[in-house]
Amino acid sequence: MDAVVEESGERMLFDARHLRWADPNGMVALLVAGTVAGRAQEGLPRLQLPDSADVSGYLSRMGFHEAAREVFEFDAPQRRASGGLSDVLLEITSVAANADVHAVIDRVQDQAGAILASKLGYPATAVVQFSVILSEVCQNIVEHAEAPGWVAAQAYNWARRLGRFVVVISVMDVGRGFRGSLMDEHSARYGDRWGDTTALEAAFLHGLTRFPDSGRGQGIQQIRRQVRRWDGAITIRSGTARIGQVPEWDDTPPLVDGLAPLPGAQISIILPARVPE
């Protein structure tokens, strides 16, 4: 993604032939990178799909090829077995309007309840809170990005890294980002300090929104509280900065700046299985 941001003009080739692993963050980020490349050239960028049968099958299960047809030019993939990889909670889904958000929630209700209970050990009531999280991160695209975005969710067994199952939720868009969304309402008070890092801190830490009246646009704060209750992690990248709420089991830095500029925003949420008491 960083390399794509720095390129312009020539038609780009994305060579994924040697890819051996992909998660929701990687797949959605590839769609964003392809969209960015397409804006800087004539015609769609070219994508070479993975040679690995397991990876190709997993991309198919996640609905990547359908979403990628709007972003890349590539040869039709062969139908391959999925290899029995992790449980798909939500295939890659385009989000551009409120109707898309409602459709996402309707699609995951039953599957979310089963996976949250069997893989993560959450109570049956957790599906409601999970649906709220999904709704809010998708709504962020509709209300703030003013541009297309995608969402995907997957359950994995993090046997080596954490020793238990996790659910990974990834949401990305190619819109105006947090700084652009909050600029009209809040940039003046920060003066010369206004930038991507300041905008993320304002939204993530202080609950500022683009709405002048209090009580509206508090989705990020709702998500943070629920993710903390489940001992999960949430990170948001926008522009040249990334901010996060990091639990003890994660060594991700809570704040990073100076990154290659990312148009729009990336929200990544990791929810781990409950530790038996």
pLDDT tens per residue across span 145-199: 778 899 999 999 998 889 999 999 999 999 999 999 999 989 998 999 999 999 9
For residues 137 and 133, what is the distance between their CA atoms, to the nearest angstrom? 6
Burial 148-183 (b: 16+ CB within 10 A, else e): bbbbbbbbbeeeeeeebbbbbbbbbbbbbbbbbbbb
Spatial CA neighbour of 63 closest among 48, 84, 82: 82
Average pLDDT on 24-42 reads 91
Q: Which CATH architecture has domain 86-277?
A: 2-Layer Sandwich (3.30)
DSSP state of 217: S
**What pLDDT, on a 0 to 100 scale, did the predictor assign at position 3?**
52
For residues 205 and 164, what is the distance between their CA atoms, to the nearest angstrom? 29
Q: Alpha-carbon dihedral of residues 209, 214, 218, 224, nearest 10 degrees?
A: 100
pLDDT, one tens digit per residue, over 49-68 is 999 988 988 999 999 999 99
pLDDT, one tens digit per residue, over 83-111 is 444 578 899 999 989 999 999 999 888 78
pLDDT, one tens digit per residue, over 192-202 is 999 999 999 99
Average pLDDT on 9-14 reads 80
pLDDT greater than 70 at residue 144: yes
**What pLDDT, on a 0 to 100 scale, did the predictor assign at position 6?**
47
- Helical segments of 51-193, H only: 53-61, 64-68, 98-118, 126-140, 177-190
- Exposure of 268 in the CB half-sphere (CA atoms within 13 A): 18
**What residues pair up with 267 in beta bridges, in sequence order?**
171, 236
- Exposure of 63 in the CB half-sphere (CA atoms within 13 A): 16
For residues 168 and 50, what is the distance between their CA atoms, to the nearest angstrom? 22
